[in-house]
Structure 1
């Protein structure tokens, strides 16, 4: 059994790994273009001045440099909607070590030529060299001071994250960790057609303390089981590696490289199957909290209950299935479904997701409507429901998970009651978005939804950012840097919780304090649950 202290140490490693997957490509791109030298030279400089000097894309440079601030390597401030970076005591030391990311960044780019989820021979050969390089501490000299030692270890964990992250996800998605666990011990040749190369990976994981190696056989350690059981925690960040391969273009080239419909009919910035697999692992924690709200609503007198539920952005249908099962088994409504049937609607913008949802609902023997819908256009959804199903959107309880930040950008119309205090970095196709405008856009968004959720409300799980100064003081305790990267470079808008709640109130809605939760329950909170209704 692991002690509480061991769990804390391993959890910190996991968060640092996620940091590395996101930070390494960005840091190395800024290093090789000499942006880092330019910042050192000027000491304090605006993002727009850097973009002008290097002909870069201001919005994505803002995202990238704010990430470095979240790692403690710059100071980041916003004055009159103008983001500014300044050097601190860590800057020079960290920037001098950015060349160490070259090998793993090259591996990320090279591995893009191969199958996304298979271990193939040529990437193995590159991995083997990097494993040896890492085990030699990247050939770093012994640091003369504690600050250098701390930053070196920070970068070493980043490199380790890229070396192990994709491997953990591939083994987790393929069920291999489960197979290994079922055996008393196992060898590389039992599970892979390139046993010698695969043995290299297993040997490296043994070096990290995940397996005991006895001749050719391996057995899990308690540390190895800790990480194997948390493989999904790596899934979302690793799923964005296709986007990180394009980081040079995003920062200094074509800012629309991910979004050219003439070249790409499908998403190329994210491995969506992996993303869904990774995010599904985290959702269970939040579902438990939402169960309380659902049970409360569907235990009210039957005539006071919603006619059903709309899950906007239904994904694979898992949330809708979960909600139905809770209502059926734990509420008053569940005892009267024949007389008061539950009208379930799964809506999604992605047609492939609709197909998966239909299949999963049929398998679960749950009767529901599955339709195309756009979170940015609830009026169209209302029209569709009314014309085709004779039901009004306002008569349904709306629910959604991690979707509002992924709305389609449009120029804001609303005015703010108070200016934005957000520290976030936001972009649309490379253009820098002012934080006031991001909040105005969110206000427009909720204004569209307000008439449809005033009666029975909206339950929303949302992702958030935290100020980089707070993230920098809590390295290893938050995945905020990785979240900011994956969402910032893909034009998604994660505000702080306070900013999100502020806009809810400005629209004339309110988040019921009895049902509000945040995770973790501290200043490091990057997820919130809100039950939003009209006042």
Structure 2
């Protein structure tokens, strides 16, 4: 949760109540369309669920079942059988209302474009489905209101916002509504994945490869990457930046400071720009695969001396280092840093024996197969091993989000968007692991962490990200 809006007299308890509602919207948006797909496939009738009887794509369905258990709708599996909890059976009793979701998804797209549209009346829908349905309406509306600094909510949202207690009788945002507006940036994340969430049935029960089609200019169609890059920048601004700067300042101002800092997967360039402001003696280099991000980052860092952005893939270290050496840059003079990119590398089956252990994370191949925990761990070890020859004396600064144990997510559900994060990562073939697995795999690849910390415990109840400064052992 971000800091509360300034100049408001409101208790911390009330502020967390608002954040809990927003978490309900975000987690609900991630899972609502999948619940509808389960209903259409005949799996939302209360019978226990098993992957081998669901006749779908096991990797994505596995991710869904794990997320539903994290939400408290399913019990932990026994011999591969997932049974419903009382909360899950309450959801099943409301299943007819899931039919509103296609209309709400269409409305969300229209509302993002500021178009007026007719909306179903969902203000009086009780929990647990109420928050799920509200999310599709409120995510785009609150993002728009926050961006425009609107004092009055759009009329078509009044009934829902009154039910939440966020506006007064005139439609003006009250103190609770102002708190919600200050937290609205979190809605960027599920909105980023609206293209996937609108067609999630294909991933679960159809041909998943159709959703991975790219445009003629090779841009992705399953995710709004520009908005994803924006959300990543917000995460840096509100949580990552404060957590890493003390360590970076010590490194960048020491007698042995690096001449260059290379941000692998630099996104919109915000982290590089912030580093450049604080350490003007270091030359900034961004590496980015996505063309939208390349252009945004290049513009953001253009005011710094000799700063530049290169095209590259974090899974291809040799090509990235070659691009530097062609410019006369010695890798020994470079500090490598990456934020939220290691888990977004392309999946390749491990080439060596599965000796790196296991992870409880859920992951799927693009064609919908399960990636086993031991294969995922070994793949991560091989990723670090590929970078090992190119990490110089300044080290490799790795900032990563993580898979979290389901019991931990359930215990903190009122203040966590973990189920949304983990499920959408699975749907988009990203490769989250828990923090201890990442460090173990890095160690097996020949690295040692000389600085390690976590991010998130103060607000989420657990660390959802880790920071490590790895060096060659």
TM-score, structure 2 as length reference: 0.91
Q: 2:98 aligns with which of 97, 101, 112?
A: 101
Moved more, 56-65 or 157-166: 157-166
**Cross-structure match for 1:371:** 310
**Cross-structure match for 1:440:** 378
1:200 partnered with 2:173: no
**How far did 1:527 drift?**
1.4
Count of equivalent residues: 463
**How far did 1:32 drift?**
1.8
Alignment deviations for residues 67-90 of structure 1 (CA, whole Å, 9 cap, x no partner): 1111111134597xxx65344444
Q: 1:159 aligns with which of 126, 129, 133?
A: 133
**How far did 1:64 drift?**
1.3
Q: 2:253 aligns with which of 293, 299, 304?
A: 299
Distance change (3 Å), C-alpha of 1:455 and 1:99: farther
User: What SS does structure 1 have at the residue aligned with 2:337?
Assistant: strand
User: What SS does structure 1 have at the residue aligned with 2:29?
Assistant: helix
| d(CA) in 2 for partners of 1:382, 1:474 | 42
1:96-245 alignment, distance < 5 Å: 96-108=93-105, 110-111=106-107, 117-121=112-116, 124-125=117-118, 127=119, 129-130=120-121, 134-137=122-125, 153-172=127-146, 175-176=147-148, 178=149, 180-181=150-151, 198-202=154-158, 204-214=160-170, 218-245=171-198
| d(CA) in 2 for partners of 1:90, 1:433 | 29
Give 5+ residue unaligned stretches, structure 1.
Answer: 138-151, 189-197, 329-336
**How far did 1:467 drift?**
1.8
User: What SS does structure 2 have at the residue aligned with 1:212?
Assistant: coil
For the pair shown, the structure with the greater C-alpha radius of gyration is 1
Q: 2:40 aligns with which of 8, 32, 45?
A: 32
TM-score, structure 1 as length reference: 0.81
1:34-433 alignment, distance < 5 Å: 34-37=42-45, 40-41=46-47, 43=48, 45=50, 47=51, 49-51=52-54, 54=55, 56-77=56-77, 84-108=81-105, 110-111=106-107, 117-121=112-116, 124-125=117-118, 127=119, 129-130=120-121, 134-137=122-125, 153-172=127-146, 175-176=147-148, 178=149, 180-181=150-151, 198-202=154-158, 204-214=160-170, 218-261=171-214, 265-284=218-237, 285-301=239-255, 304-328=256-280, 337=281, 342-362=282-302, 364-387=303-326, 389-417=327-355, 419-433=357-371
**Cross-structure match for 2:456:** 519
**How far did 1:472 drift?**
2.2
| d(CA) in 2 for partners of 1:252, 1:263 | 27
User: What SS does structure 2 have at the residue aligned with 1:268?
Assistant: coil
| d(CA) in 2 for partners of 1:91, 1:456 | 50
Distance change (3 Å), C-alpha of 1:445 and 1:84: farther
**Cross-structure match for 1:22:** 30
| d(CA) in 1 for partners of 2:216, 2:391 | 39
